[in-house]
Amino acid sequence: MFFPAVATALLILLADIAQVNASSGHALSRLPRHHDLSERIARAAAAVDATEPVKKIRKRRSCTRPVNNAALSTSAKPTSTAKPATTKAATTTTKGTVKDSSPTKAPSNSGGGQILGVAFKPSDWPTATQAGAAPAAIRTSAADPYLMELSKAFNNNGNGLYTQKHTGQMTYYGQGLGACGDTYNDESYTAAVSKLMYDTWPGATAETNRNPICGPYVKGRKTISNAGTFITSVSASSFVNVGGDGFLNCDPKSQCHIPLTATVKHGAKSIIVKIVDRCEACEEGDIDLTPTAFAALADPGLGRTDVEWWFNQF
């Protein structure tokens, strides 16, 4: 009986020891180890970094800013959009030069070389001259049945309107049939003088196309036949009609006069024009040019500008 009791006690003791060992092992496993503690500290530090970022230290700036050499070198150079002050003026001058050289240059026998406009002296200017600035007769007669005397040049040496220089304003207008009876276009170098000059010119009459300021008549003549038509009586490249009343009349199919010419000067530029018309609104010293003639001297946008001009004497 003893042996079984001892065995039973021993078994109970062993069971208790096993239970104690099991409990001790579990408790030891919960103790923090050094390695576990370092990992926890690292994790805690990472958590702090993620939730509370470190604030940067604000340093006080100096009252004097450092010099930025790159900025200074950039500001010292002109930008690409800025243009030198002389660029615009140079362009204007270039345009003006091109415009001034566009009209055809005509030779002048005035001794001044070449000048824009028409010839200083017309190639068909008559060699014979009348006695005075006004014609001795303006109607046909037995002595001069075709009024050939009127195809001679007038003697304007004593005519102050012809010999003096004139100053005033120059303007321009659309050309066409002029008061002298001849037709020109806007591209011609022609001009009109003031009615104050035109109407007081020696020999002027109410018939504007018979005014000596228009120059001598061309040499050709046509007269009325018995059939009532004009036939050639004096052959020439251009002609005028001798009317039944004995007066000369311009024909729209032919040049009528050999015009006087004038030199027109504005600033340093000069042109030569034919005087072919009468300007109603001009003052005595004014001259009214075609658009082409005006543009050879000044910008047409001006409309009017100062001018000096004179009749060419030959």
For 153-189, the pLDDT digits (tens) are: 999 999 999 999 999 999 999 999 999 999 999 999 9
- Which helix (H) or strand (E) is 36 found in, with range? helix 34-51
Give φ, ψ of 240 to 5 degrees.
-125, 160
SS3 call for 212: helix
Residue type, 92: T
- Give the confidence band of 7 by pLDDT, cuts at 50, 70, 90: low
Look at residue 115 in the predicted model and tell me its pLDDT.
Answer: 84
For residue 241, which of 223, 217, 216 has the smallest C-alpha distance? 223
For residue 45, give both structure tokens. Answer: 């530090």
DSSP bridge pairs for 215: none
Better-scored residue on pLDDT, 12 or 77: 12
Structure tokens given for 291 = 């658009």
Residue 126's pLDDT is what? Answer: 96
In this prediction, residues 33-55 reach a mean pLDDT of: 45
Q: In angstroms, rounded to a whole number, what is the distance separating the alpha carbons of residues 38 and 184?
A: 114
Check: CB of residue 260 under 8 Å from CB of residue 274: yes
Q: What angle do CA 276, 279, 280 make, to 5 degrees?
A: 145
pTM: 0.64
pLDDT exceeds 80 at position 263:
yes
More confident residue, 290 or 87: 290
DSSP state of 152: S
Query: pLDDT band at residue 5, thresholds of 50, 70 and 90?
Result: low
